[in-house]
Amino acid sequence: MKNWKKVLAVSMAAMVMAGALAGCGDDKKGGSAKPAAGQTLKINFPTAGASGALYAVGAAITNMWSNNVPGVQAASQASAGGIENLNMVSDGEAQVSIAIASNVYQCYKGLDSFKDHAYPDLKVIGGLYLNPNQVVASANSGIENIQDIKGKHFAVASAGSSVYNEAEAHLTTAGMKFPDDIKAEYITFGDAADMIQNGSIDGAWIMSGAPASAVTQALTSGAHLVPIDDNLMKELKAKYPWYTSYTIKAGTYPNQDKDIQTSAIKMVMFCRGDLPDDVVYQLTKTLWEHMDEMGQSQKNLKGLTAENAVKDIAGVPLHPGAEKYYKEIGVLK
């Protein structure tokens, strides 16, 4: 039944796109295809929970596309995060989205959460910003390092989510049985911050661009960030090559008076492989032409460059339309 629904969803999506793009031509100057007069290509772009930084990033990008790409109407929506985003794109319920590079690779290959549900036609539009793991502990928790989380009442987001998987990867690498060695709480970032404030839990695993509102809320009430030490970082990088070190600079959050070392993974914008090349070319081109403008209101987009967009994308192939743009500007040969 699931396979039948998947085929139907993909077929319907393909028919909608084919109809919307009927009569498209090639613009020799920009290389973009435009839907026929009066027709619109709708792009659904799932993001994450409404309280997270990714939700605002997705809203900014889809609003920019809708205003600047003729014939395209893009809309963002709240979701459970990267894994759901990848499943929605794979199943044809969405066309473009964002997830961490590790999850994108796993979906492409059919690994871990995507076992028996690989999407080999997944394509990348570009890598964006580094998404750091932010481990928050209450003032009275006694948690000063990752190993101290053992036995604590700790929030790890929803089971099967990318954040849950991050907690699992780190805690198992630190020698724990996950989730057996903690008293796990499966809640949103916002709820976790509330529970840290009222003393109901000892801490929370949060993965989001910094600063994140939930982390700000927790640290305002006396909580602190927990660092990931050099030894654990070395082990993580050996097991999972998509990790990189990241420093949350002092002053990023209230009452944060020192730098905090943690791990991070690049956020990757991906799309369905059957999106027309000319459309993806125009989406990619317009994205980077307006990145500085979006970066003025979205801190996570500030300072991003097209040169870095083709790096740290876990070996998942670029969409031909995106690749054309990067070659055009000299980023790729």
Task: Give the pLDDT confidence of 30-71 residue by residue, as tens digits.
Answer: 333 445 555 789 999 999 888 777 899 999 999 999 999 999
State residue 300 phi and psi, 5-degree precision: -70, -20
Domain at 2-22+35-128+268-328: CATH architecture: 3-Layer(aba) Sandwich (3.40)
As given in the structure block, the two tokens for residue 237 are 């990088």
Out of 209-213, 222-226, 323-327, which region has the weakest mean confidence (pLDDT)? 209-213
**Between these two residues, 256 and 4, which has the higher pLDDT value?**
256
What does the pLDDT read at residue 190?
93
What values do phi and psi take at 112, rounded to 5?
50, -115
Buried b (16+ CB within 10 A) or exposed e, 47-57: bbbebbbbbbb
The residues of the chain that CATH labels 3.40.190.10 are 2-22+35-128+268-328, 132-265
Identify the pLDDT of residue 38.
56
- Phi/psi at 180 (5° precision): -60, -35
Q: Give pairs for 187-194: CB < 8 Å, separation 24+.
A: 187/155, 187/157, 187/158, 188/49, 188/51, 188/157, 189/49, 189/51, 189/52, 189/157, 189/213, 189/214, 190/49, 190/51, 190/214, 190/217, 191/155, 192/136, 192/155, 192/218, 193/136, 193/217, 193/218
Is the predicted pLDDT of residue 5 greater than 80, yes or no? Answer: no
CATH pick for 132-265 out of 3.40.190.10, 3.40.50.300, 3.60.70.12, 3.40.30.10: 3.40.190.10
Tokens of 44: 């659904």
CA atoms within 13 A on the CB side of 197: 14
The structure's pTM equals 0.74
